[in-house]
């Protein structure tokens, strides 16, 4: 099963991707995680991406398309995959279709997590992440600055500052939201209400994908 998960920044894509990837045993491919890892490792891609991410802008398409072409050619993608954060605009969506076509593949379903913008801002300003294993937490539920899973340091993502969140939401509306129509026109879009608790969102997604 080849999947895409869509939604505003902070809608819960990463959170739900962890469930989907585990349950259906497919790799969770997050361009955001790949870029943050590249920044931490100070690779060429990381050095190029850092200023864009910290300003809430998109990393240039050519950089993203190159890393995705490489990632999708890896062996673990043969059993299916879940794309989180890619495609992010129409150019990337069309290029993805071409990339997959070469291997006789296509996207089977796109899941769109819908949520009010005010709730998204609340979620992002209270999000904390582990610097070591990238686990995601809510500061109100965490109660410590040590990751319960790996003992790593808990930090605030650089792009979760309020002024950067505003820029990310603007870019989402202008560039990513049109993808909802793109996938809907292909009759492969699932709309999911992301305002309910995490487990309820997951149950809804599971129910739809199992059909």
- The interface mask with ligand AP5, positions 31-70, x = CB under 6 A, is xx--x----------------xx--xxxx----x------
Binding-site member from 4, 6, 15, 107 for ligand AP5 (CB under 6 A):
15
Extended beta strands in the chain, E state:
2-7, 28-30, 81-84, 109-114, 127-130, 136-138, 154-155, 189-193
Pairing of strands 81-84, 127-130: unpaired
We find the least distance from the C-beta atom of residue 176 to ligand AP5, in angstroms, to be 8
Cβ distance 31 to 67 under 8 Å? yes
Between the alpha carbon of residue 126 and those of residues 17, 41, 155, the distances in Å are 19, 26, 11
The answer to whether residue 13 forms part of the interface with ligand AP5 (CB under 6 A) is yes
The answer to whether residue 109 forms part of the interface with ligand AP5 (CB under 6 A) is no
CA-closest candidate to residue 169, choices 32, 11, 5? 11
Q: Is 36 a catalytic residue?
A: no
The answer to whether residue 198 forms part of the interface with ligand AP5 (CB under 6 A) is yes
Residues of the shown chain interacting with ligand AP5 in the complex, contacts defined by CB under 6 A = 7, 9-15, 31-32, 35, 52-53, 56-59, 64, 85-86, 88, 92, 123, 127, 136, 138, 159, 168, 194, 197-198, 201
**Residues taking part in catalysis:** 13, 88, 127, 157, 168
């Amino acid at each position: 099963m080849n999947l895409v998960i869509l939604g505003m920044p902070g809608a819960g894509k990463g959170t739900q991707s962890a469930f989907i990837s585990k349950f259906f045993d497919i790799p969770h491919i997050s361009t955001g995680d790949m870029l943050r890892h590249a920044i931490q490792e100070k690779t060429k891609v990381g050095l190029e991406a850092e200023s864009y991410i910290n300003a809430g802008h998109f990393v240039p398409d050519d950089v993203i398309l190159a890393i995705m072409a490489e990632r999708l050619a890896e062996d673990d993608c043969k059993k299916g995959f879940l794309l989180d954060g890619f495609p992010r605009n129409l150019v990337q969506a069309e290029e993805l279709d071409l990339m997959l076509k070469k291997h006789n593949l296509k996207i089977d379903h796109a899941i769109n997590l819908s949520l009010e913008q005010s709730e998204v801002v609340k979620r992002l300003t209270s999000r904390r992440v582990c610097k070591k294993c990238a686990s995601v937490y809510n500061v109100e539920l965490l109660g410590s600055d040590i990751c319960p899973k790996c003992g790593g340091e808990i930090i605030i993502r650089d792009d979760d500052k309020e002024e950067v969140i505003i820029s990310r939401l603007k870019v989402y509306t202008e560039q990513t939201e049109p993808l909802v129509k793109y996938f809907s026109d292909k009759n492969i879009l699932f709309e999911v209400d992301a305002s309910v608790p995490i487990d309820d969102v997951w149950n809804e997604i599971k129910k739809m994908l199992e059909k």
